[in-house]
């Protein structure tokens, strides 16, 4: 949040394309979810819509991913 418009939009675009394989570690996924929840309240409408889409995809992958229950942090 607060990043340049194009950087945030591009980051969300990449994350959407990678959602089936990233994140695979639950703790990373929790962090990603926290960040995307902040973006869902962004004043920029296109960022808000894309963040909502990514969050829905992330939720769908929750039960499929997280096979690596490694605590690396």
Mean pLDDT, range 53-73, rounded to an integer: 73
In this prediction, residue 27 carries a pLDDT of 86
Compute the half-sphere exposure of residue 21: CA atoms within 13 Å on the CB side of its CA: 3
53 close to 17: Cβ distance less than 8 angstroms:
no
Summarize pLDDT for 8-42 with one digit per residue, the tens: 999 999 999 999 889 888 888 899 999 999 999 99
Q: Which long-range CB contacts under 8 A does 49-54 form with residues at least 24 apart?
A: 50/9, 50/12, 50/13, 50/16, 51/12, 53/16, 54/12, 54/15, 54/16, 54/19
């Amino acid at each position: 949040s607060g990043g340049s418009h194009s950087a945030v939009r591009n980051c969300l675009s990449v994350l959407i394309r990678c959602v089936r394989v990233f994140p695979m570690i639950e703790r990373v996924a929790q962090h990603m979810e926290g960040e995307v929840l902040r973006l869902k309240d962004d004043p920029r409408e296109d960022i808000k819509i894309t963040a909502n889409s990514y969050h829905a995809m992330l939720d769908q992958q929750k039960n499929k991913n997280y096979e690596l229950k490694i605590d690396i942090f």
